[in-house]
Amino acid sequence: MKIEKISDNQIRCILSREDLEQRSLRLSELAYGNEKARALFRDIMQQAAFQYGFKTDGTPLMIEAIPLGNGSIILLVTKVENPEELDTRFSNFAPSVQSASASASEAAGPDPLLQAMRENFSPPPVKDEKEEIERYRMFLFTNRIFRFEKLEDAIRAAVLTADAYQGDSSLYRDDSGDCYYLSLTMEDADAVGRMQRVLSVISEYGSSQPVSIARRQHLNEHCKMLCARGALAMLSQLE
């Protein structure tokens, strides 16, 4: 079991096939919160708290599952700042998966972690849709979201990185929170590797945010789009 901290609000746990076999856990059992699944999630959260100081503190959790081709699975655990984001959680899955998740939610017990697991856990698609799974994995890897308290901070980051950045960038304004969000999309894993210095510089001016399809939908639906393409280049011209 390998746990990585993505941001202050999100961790990633990679479970190998051997990890699941050692716990006598089947993939399907994770969504329904039996005793073995409960123990696994507690171990994950305890290890995350020990390694990275990642604690829930009563914050709602969103748990996403990304099955891998070798029998392993990636679990993304995200603290949800805006619980209404969960309303669109299952829009990308088949109705049968949504129904299964809803049934699990009805059976949820009082345990906060277990309840979050049952209500928000996304099982893999019922059918073997490897291409769709791979596309989602690549989405998570190649996308970044940064939050800026002031537009001036976004401009400073853009001035230092616009010339070097390769990829799409969009800028949003959240009037309710009086802040700005910069969404970055890179072409592939190699591009992400080349952009590490750029991402590091941007993170000095803005805070990295959890990435998920639900998060992207929330930006599109609840924030004002200021620039759909080439946001970094646009911002760099505002200095």
Per-residue pLDDT reduced to its tens digit, 7-45: 888 888 888 888 888 888 876 666 656 778 878 888 888
**8 Å CB contact between 174 and 142:** no
**8 Å CB contact between 71 and 17:** yes
**Residue type at 83?**
P
Q: Residue 99 corresponds to which tokens in the numbers above? A: 């129904």
Q: How far apart are CA 67 and CA 73, in angstroms?
A: 4
Structural domains of the chain, with CATH: 2-128 (no CATH), 139-236 (3.30.70.1950)
Q: How far apart are CA 142 and CA 188, in angstroms?
A: 6
Q: How far apart are CA 164 and CA 145, in angstroms?
A: 18
- Tell me what the mean pLDDT of segment 179-200 comes to: 91
- Tell me what the mean pLDDT of segment 59-66 comes to: 77
pLDDT number for residue 69: 64
Q: How far apart are CA 163 and CA 183, in angstroms?
A: 17
Express as a percent the part of the chain with pLDDT over 70.
73
